């Protein structure tokens, strides 16, 4: 239960590699914040600096208004769950969870109460007397969470806690973390490389790349208003289609010319483009796979493509198509929208006409890669 404030936080390793550049972030009390990004983007390093496991090369980290730069991890009042669980192998599950309480010299009967309560919540009561090696991956992760839970600390840190679990268990644990968060009602900082986890768990998401923050925002914000090309491509699965296109202004209206087709960009997008006062120019156009639709046949606003791969996902179909100039695009079509005849025609090599929904096109600057609409 505390706010966390990072001001100009920097991490430079001994070999002069800069892992984190001027990191500025205000994490509110009881907020669930997720650091997400590809491996090597500095998200874990930042978390470890907050935890005190990594020296801070520059800037300050404040927890609850107190600068903790020079405090040992044990003096920061934080709890942390590690990717590899880091359970003490020579202790039983009970002793693992009780370890921090014993160090605090809490009376044994209180420890018993706390440990059994946590075990109850996590459903590991039956395993309390087992050693970690006799547990499955999911159970070990629960023990690790239990160990962090009983501490009632100000900030709860999680470093890719679900990465080592299989897909099914990961979904289940993700839901449990949401419940846990409600129960603990404390500040969470969660690190992951998985954008689904980030979107589903976070109140706000911090997207990082090469040690820089790319965007901070709610899941809806980063999805709908990505600040730049990197965020746009990182959030959403399958990833957003991006390609070079030409923005044309004709008689006060905007059009996009791409792959020989001319698509209208009116509505909200046209209004925003007009507000920003853009003229005709080169852009990188972004279109999410679910915002591309199949057209009935050749038309001015339809692009002719060839189907390369058809991935049947059950409730939806992912169509990998190639335009005439060799650009690959992904189209996501709900299975329910396809007639039987249409489905039969989705064979490799088939010619498909696609078109974009103008409301959900994204425009990026080819140079700076920034979003033209929300910059």
Round to whole Å and give the CA distance between 265 and 280.
12
Supply the DSSP symbol for 74: G
- Identify residues 44-63 at the interface with another protein (CB under 8 A): 51-53
Residues 63-82 binding another protein (CB under 8 A) are 72-74, 78-80, 82
Nearer to another protein, 3 or 100 (CB): 100
**Under 8 Å between Cβ of 33 and 44:** no
> Is residue 13 near another protein by the rule CB under 8 A?
no
CA distance 160 to 82: 7
C-alpha–C-alpha distance, residues 174 and 162, integer Å: 8
Q: List the x/- string, 157-196, binding to another protein by CB under 8 A.
A: -------x--------------------------------
Residue 208 · residue 33 · CB < 8 Å = no
Quick one: which H or E segment has residue 183?
helix 167-184
Residue 46 Cβ, how far from another protein at the closest point, in Å?
Answer: 15
Segment (H or E) for 311:
strand 303-312
User: Residue 261: which of 291, 289, 298 has the closest Cα?
Assistant: 298
Residues 85 to 124 in contact with another protein, rule: CB under 8 A: 85-90, 99-100, 103-104
Q: 212-249: string of b/e by CB count within 10 Å (b at 16+)?
A: bbbbbbebebbbebbbbbbbbebbbeeebbbbebebeb
The answer to the question of residue 151 lying near another protein (CB under 8 A) is: yes
- Applying CB under 8 A, the span of 127-135, 310-318, 350-358, 365-373 interacting with another protein comes to 127-135
Minimum distance of another protein from residue 124's CB (angstroms): 14
Q: Measured from the CB of residue 82, what is the shortest distance to another protein in angstroms?
A: 5
Closer to another protein by CB, 159 or 358: give it.
159
- Is 39 a binding residue for another protein by CB under 8 A? The answer is no
> Which residue, 67 or 134, has its beta carbon nearer to another protein?
134
Q: Which residues sit at the interface with another protein, rule CB under 8 A?
A: 14, 51-53, 72-74, 78-80, 82-90, 99-100, 103-104, 131-135, 137, 140, 147, 151, 164
């Amino acid at each position: 239960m505390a706010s966390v404030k990072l001001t100009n936080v920097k991490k430079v390793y001994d070999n002069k590699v800069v892992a984190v550049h001027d990191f500025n972030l205000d994490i509110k009390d009881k907020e669930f914040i997720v650091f997400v990004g590809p491996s090597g983007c500095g998200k874990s390093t930042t978390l470890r600096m907050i935890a005190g496991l990594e020296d801070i090369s520059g800037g300050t980290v404040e927890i609850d208004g107190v600068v903790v730069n020079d405090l040992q991890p044990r003096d920061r009042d934080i709890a942390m769950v590690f990717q590899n669980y880091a359970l003490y192998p020579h202790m039983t599950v009970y002793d693992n969870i009780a370890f921090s309480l014993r160090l605090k010299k809490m009376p044994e009967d209180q420890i018993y109460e706390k440990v059994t309560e946590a075990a109850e919540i996590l459903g590991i009561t039956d395993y309390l007397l087992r050693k970690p090696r006799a547990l499955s991956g999911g159970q070990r992760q629960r023990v690790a969470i239990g160990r962090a839970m009983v501490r009632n600390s100000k900030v709860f840190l999680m470093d890719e806690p679900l990465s080592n679990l299989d897909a099914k268990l990961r979904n289940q644990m993700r839901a449990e973390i949401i419940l846990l968060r409600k129960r603990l009602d404390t500040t969470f900082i969660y690190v992951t490389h998985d954008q689904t986890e980030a979107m589903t768990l976070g109140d706000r998401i911090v997207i990082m790349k090469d040690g820089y923050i790319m965007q901070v925002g709610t899941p809806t914000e980063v999805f709908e208003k990505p600040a730049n090309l990197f965020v746009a491509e990182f959030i959403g699965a399958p990833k957003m289609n991006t390609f070079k296109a030409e923005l044309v202004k004709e008689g006060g209206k905007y059009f996009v010319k791409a792959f020989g087709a001319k698509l209208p960009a009116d509505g909200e997008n046209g209004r925003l483009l007009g507000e920003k006062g853009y003229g005709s120019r080169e852009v990188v156009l972004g279109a999410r796979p679910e915002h591309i639709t199949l057209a009935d046949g050749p038309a001015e606003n339809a692009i002719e493509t060839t189907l390369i791969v058809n991935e049947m996902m059950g409730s939806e179909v992912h169509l990998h198509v190639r335009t005439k100039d060799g650009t690959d695009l992904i189209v996501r079509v709900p299975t329910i929208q396809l007639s039987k005849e249409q489905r039969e025609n989705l064979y490799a090599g088939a010619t498909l006409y696609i078109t974009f929904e103008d409301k959900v096109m994204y425009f990026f600057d080819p140079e700076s890669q920034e979003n033209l609409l929300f910059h």
